[in-house]
Structure 1
Amino acid sequence: MNRNIFIALLIVFNIAIDQISKVIVRSSMTPGRNGEIDVIGDYFQLIWVENKGAFLGMGSDMNPTLRLIFLLILPTVVLLYVVYYIVKTKELDRLSVIAFCCIIGGGIANVFDRITRGEVTDFFFIDLGGVFKTGIFNVADLSVTTGMIMLLFSGIYSNKKKKAEETV
């Protein structure tokens, strides 16, 4: 498959899964803790909230101009640059390309929500009994986080590979 088509399809897939999940949540749940659904006891729950900020609500109390700059314009510019970077940089390994596509798709999905709704729909909540607890997040956040972890592993793997080649 053509590399650029692969990139476009992967980005669109990430956006679509996120947007479909948000439509399902908004059409079938009640907002807030009153409408929470226990998926796996108290460990994994669906709780629908609308987030005017970024990750974990950060920035939700900013004035509208700063929110526009930091939560809409700046992320859009960064996402456009990353798209340009992965299309132009042919040396990227497949794992890095997939990771960047997850980050871009998740980022675009949340920016799209901010443009069309003025806020982002979040609904996943994990609490592993005090050992690990998240804020409320969505599929786009999961895509971005997964992409970042994949990039980390890709970087570690490529560094080990380079060191192994240097010693030979």
Structure 2
Amino acid sequence: MSLRLGLPIAAGVLIADQNTKWWILNGLRLPEIGQIPLFEAGPFGLDLTMVWNRGVTFGLLSGEGTWNHVLLALMAVAIAAFLIRWMARAENRLTAIALGAVVGGAIGNVIDRIRFGAVVDFVDAHAWGWHWYVFNVADAAIVCGVVALVADALFRPKAGPKEGS
């Protein structure tokens, strides 16, 4: 049951991620433009800013080594396989959905790493002159999925002792 819920979520995240990246690269041609301001609301703003992320989420572990993107892609595939196995055993809907979001995001970024040697990042949110890391749909899904998993682990009511124990 949990795979029937989690895998479509993973597929939806993957499709949304790859379609937005296609639009950024081929529709808007953001690599040629560099940045497109979307809106400003007081101290808050949102831009499309082209970044080739050679690291993992938020640019961590970035490196220029020849094998860096291959090793990161292999790590992500191994983690995705572990998460799919966890998803198959998920005990509730939230866990299956959250794992689906993480898996879909991880696979989306692996596809970029294989195709380009880096991940396409483009969402640039900022406030009071401070810019958060530039990210993409896959990164957002991964973060939301992890937050949901942590919240579920912290706040889900614990099962009581079994009858007769």
TM-score, length of structure 2 as denominator length: 0.84
2:85 — aligned with what? Answer: 84
Where do residues 59-138 of structure 1 align in structure 2 (5 Å cutoff)? 59-69=61-71, 71-87=72-88, 89-90=89-90, 92-130=91-129, 133-138=131-136
Give per-residue Cα distances to partners, 1:88-119, cap 9 Å, x unaligned: x14x2111111111011000100111112211
- State how far apart, in whole Å, the 1-side matches of 2:19 and 2:68 are: 29
Q: Is 1:162 aligned to 2:158, yes or no?
A: yes
8 Å Cα contact 1:99-1:148 kept in structure 2:
yes
Match among 52, 56, 59 for residue 57 of structure 1? 59
- The SS at the match of 2:48 is strand
- State how far apart, in whole Å, the 1-side matches of 2:58 and 2:3 are: 33
Task: Tell me the amino acid that sits aligned with residue 30 of structure 2.
Answer: T
Which has the larger displacement, 137-146 or 21-30?
21-30
CA deviation after TM superposition for structure 1 residue 16, in Å: 0.2
Task: Tell me the amino acid that sits aligned with residue 24 of structure 2.
Answer: V
- State how far apart, in whole Å, the 2-side matches of 1:20 and 1:30 are: 14
Unaligned residue ranges in structure 2 (runs of 5+): none
Query: Which structure carries more strand by proportion?
Result: 2
Residues 67 and 30 from structure 1, CA distance in 2 versus in 1: closer, same or farther, beyond 3 angstroms? Answer: closer
- The SS at the match of 1:125 is strand
Task: Tell me the amino acid that sits aligned with residue 84 of structure 2.
Answer: V
- State how far apart, in whole Å, the 2-side matches of 1:66 and 1:35 are: 25
* Structure 1 residue ranges (4+ consecutive) displaced by more than 3 angstroms after TM superposition: none
Query: Which structure carries more helix by proportion?
Result: 1
Task: Tell me the amino acid that sits aligned with residue 57 of structure 2.
Answer: F
8 Å Cα contact 1:7-1:101 kept in structure 2:
yes
TM-score, length of structure 1 as denominator length: 0.83
1:147 — aligned with what? Answer: 145
CA deviation after TM superposition for structure 1 residue 62, in Å: 4.4
- Structure 1 vs Structure 2 CA RMSD: 2.1
- The SS at the match of 2:7 is helix
- State how far apart, in whole Å, the 1-side matches of 2:59 and 2:158 are: 40
Identity of aligned residues (%): 24
- State how far apart, in whole Å, the 2-side matches of 1:37 and 1:63 are: 31
1:6 — aligned with what? Answer: 5
- State how far apart, in whole Å, the 1-side matches of 2:29 and 2:115 are: 20
- State how far apart, in whole Å, the 2-side matches of 1:93 and 1:5 are: 12
Unaligned residue ranges in structure 1 (runs of 5+): none
